[in-house]
A and B are shown apart, each in its own frame.
Chain A
Amino acid sequence: MNSGALSRWLPWVVVGLFALFPMLESTFYTQLVTKVLIMAIFAMSLDLLVGYTGLVSFGHAAYFGLAGYALALMGPKYEAASLWWTLPASLGICVVFALVTGLLVLRTRGIYFIMVTLAFAQMLFFVFHDTKLGGGSDGIYIYAKPTMNLGETVLVNLEKLDQFYWLVLFFTAATYFLLRRILGSSFGRALVGIKVNEHRMRALGFPVFRYQLASFALGGALGGLSGYLAAVQFGFVNPEILSWHQSGMVLMMVILGGMGTLHGAVIGAFAFVLLQEVLSNQAWFGIAAKHWQLAMGILIMLVALYMPQGLAGLMNGFRRKPQAEAEEGADG
């Protein structure tokens, strides 16, 4: 993290510029950027776990999907539900799920942790895929978007594209500043300490397990926030949103942007969604656009092999020499 005025006001300027975006009056791009911002929340929530706490979760889609399904199942079928209680309730469910599974998965390390988080997400996938609870493999529609009313007045109308966009932008910015604040606190420093050397932190008297669990729950709640917003945007949920492809995709965003930087996760979300849009653009790539995942796969492999610090690392590299980081992982 580089200190100084630049890094302090830059995020605010970026948020300000984004707030102007719907003025362009392009429905397509407003929707696209809304999607990107939602993914940015998702990626930041995972960066908290992977980049700062050293917990490589490969089942983060579980929270994304769980909150979406919570919204779809809690509200009345054809009428709008109120955001004031469905959002906290959805996040609450995610926190409970994170705490319950966290008690189990945090007993494991390294490869086991990766696979066990994956397996719990898959368990949830099959709950919604095989039982009638959430409409099976077809999923369910959310016919009316949630309302945000204060008494009789409509505070934010989520049916309006630009108002929804600003709401999402607000949540994205809130997530960013909240995480910055938390990671700057002694709690956040302790998390990074656990990532670098868990045994030393334990020897220093830190309750490592409780810190990890707290981080896991917070990551789950924020992952849920993005899932809730995504469900509102697309108007339906199906088991695909909690499949392991989704977990792989968000992990990809975090690493592509540069993990452990927070803004890297936002950059990664942008790069990933825009790449997806560009590569699958039939006007530009014709028949090859149908097989856009081939190009995406090759790109992912190149990032894994040659760009371990991601795009954020690339930008830092221009400004100063990259630091030798203690990348020892969570083994041990």
Chain B
Amino acid sequence: MDLAFILIQLLNGLQYGMLLFLVSSGLTLVFGIMGIINLAHGSFYMVGAYLAWSLASMTGNLATAIAIAIPLTVVLGMALEKLLFRQLYTRDHLYQVLLTYGLILVFEELRSIIWGDDVHGVAVPALLSASIPLTDNLSYPVYRLAISGVCLLLAFALYVLIQKTRLGMMIRAGASNRDMVQSLGIDIKFIYTLVFAMGVALAAFAGMINAPLSSVTPNMGSHVLIICFVVVVIGGIGSVKGAMAASLMIGLAETFGTVLVPEVAGMIVYVLMAIVLVWRPEGLFGRK
């Protein structure tokens, strides 16, 4: 194993981790702020990938497809929050699990009706299809670097939004005391809708930009969902910082695990989670 090989795996792991962050940041925000456990979050990732594939084959351009798809997913998120999730804020987690489990079935079947059950591929945009040569026979695709860059940018934007803006202040306040925020004259319902839609759009966007790297397949959402659960548990519920740390950790662990010990690669992340839980039951950055 030489240096170039390790470098490639390192970049792959970071890129995968960044992608996981996009999906899990929405999940952890919805957990932390609204107290909702959302199993259907992986379905949003799948919807994003299928939207990207179908719109890209219609328009012939992935960038255009993404530009059209993002507003669609925001609207989808707002509609779901207003129609379904709003009724669950005060209910036991059990019913949230049940409702979102039903939602997964609905999403999978709608996907099957609208787009069929075939596996599809999306072409890497021509502009980013080049590779950077590392050694004589090893090179690294520009598209993966671009994804990592976009994810990093989004992560930074998310940080600024939550920590530095007035809206972010309201979101954080809403997480700690809903009634108080409301009595101060802030429309907390609207903020919830906004946060939920943001989570949906982030997950769907992750599905869109990852479509050229992995094929677009049925049930692609469920693997991502479970991994993101692990990310949220390790990072600590509601902590975006924790989601970042845990995503990178899992991304690297799974990438290197697949290369070095393929037999047990699937288990590594869960073992990692068990270790973290023994050490800190509330997650790395979780509040006690």
Contact = CB atoms under 8 A, between A and B. Distances in A.
Asked whether A and B interact, the reply is: yes
A46 to B, nearest CB: 11
B267 A127 contact: yes
Contacts of B271: 123
Contacts of B149: none
A303 B97 CA distance: 12
Contacts of B270: 119-120, 122-123, 126
Interface string B256-282: 000000111111001101100110011
B98 A130 contact: no
A291 B107 CA distance: 11
Best-surrounded residue of B87, B108, B109, B265 (most CB of chain A within 10 A): B109
A40 interface: no
Interface stretch (B160-168, B177-185, B228-236): B228-236
A152 interface: no
Nearest to B109: A294
B29 interface: no
Q: Range of interface residues on chain A?
A: 35 or more
A259 B226 CA distance: 26
A291 B102 contact: no
A119 B226 contact: yes
Nearest to B271: A123
Contact of A129 (B93, B266, B273): B266
Interface string A65-95: 0000000000000000000000000000000
Q: Range of interface residues on chain B?
A: 35 or more
A153 B162 CA distance: 73
A259 B229 CA distance: 25
Given A58-B97, A123-B271, A301 B277 contact: no
A271 interface: no
A178 interface: no
A213 interface: no
Contact of B281 (A58, A108, A248, A305): A108
A2 interface: no
B95 interface: yes
A107 B281 contact: yes
B94 interface: yes
Interface stretch (A110-118, A158-166, A183-191, A203-211): A110-118
Contacts of A50: 94
A327 B264 CA distance: 41
Contacts of B102: 296-301, 303-304
Interface string A123-148: 10011011100000000000000000
B101 interface: yes
B97 A114 contact: yes
Interface in A191-250: 244, 248
B222 interface: yes
Interface in A246-260: 248, 251-252, 255, 259
A301 B93 contact: no
A298 B101 CA distance: 10
A168 interface: no
B151 interface: no
Contact of A255 (B39, B84, B94): B94
B273 A255 contact: no
Contacts of B139: none
Contacts of B226: 118-119, 122, 244
A77 B101 CA distance: 37
B278 A251 contact: no
Contact of A112 (B84, B97, B237): B237
B103 interface: yes
A303 B283 CA distance: 33
Contacts of A297: 102-106, 109
B118 interface: no
A274 interface: no
Nearest to B238: A111
Best-surrounded residue of A291, A294, A297 (most CB of chain B within 10 A): A297
A92 to B, nearest CB: 22
B113 interface: yes
Nearest to B270: A123
B145 interface: no
B90 to A, nearest CB: 11
Contact of A115 (B35, B99, B233, B282): B233
Interface of B: 31, 35, 37, 39, 84, 87-88, 91-99, 101-106, 108-110, 112-113, 222, 226, 229-230, 232-233, 237, 262-267, 270-271, 273-274, 277-278, 281-283
Closest 9 CB pairs of A and B: A297-B105, A126-B266, A300-B102, A123-B270, A294-B109, A297-B106, A304-B99, A301-B102, A304-B98
Interface of A: 50, 56, 58, 104, 107-108, 110-112, 114-116, 118-120, 122-123, 126-127, 129-131, 244, 248, 251-252, 255, 259, 291, 293-294, 296-301, 303-305, 308, 327, 329
25 contacts: A50-B94, A104-B274, A104-B278, A107-B277, A107-B278, A112-B283, A114-B37, A115-B232, A118-B226, A119-B226, A119-B273, A123-B267, A127-B267, A130-B265, A131-B264, A255-B98, A296-B102, A300-B99, A301-B103, A303-B98, A304-B96, A304-B102, A305-B84, A329-B92, A329-B94
Given A118-B229, A123-B267, A304-B102, 17 more contacts: A56-B93, A56-B97, A104-B278, A107-B277, A116-B273, A119-B230, A120-B274, A123-B270, A123-B274, A126-B266, A130-B262, A244-B222, A244-B226, A248-B97, A251-B101, A293-B109, A327-B92
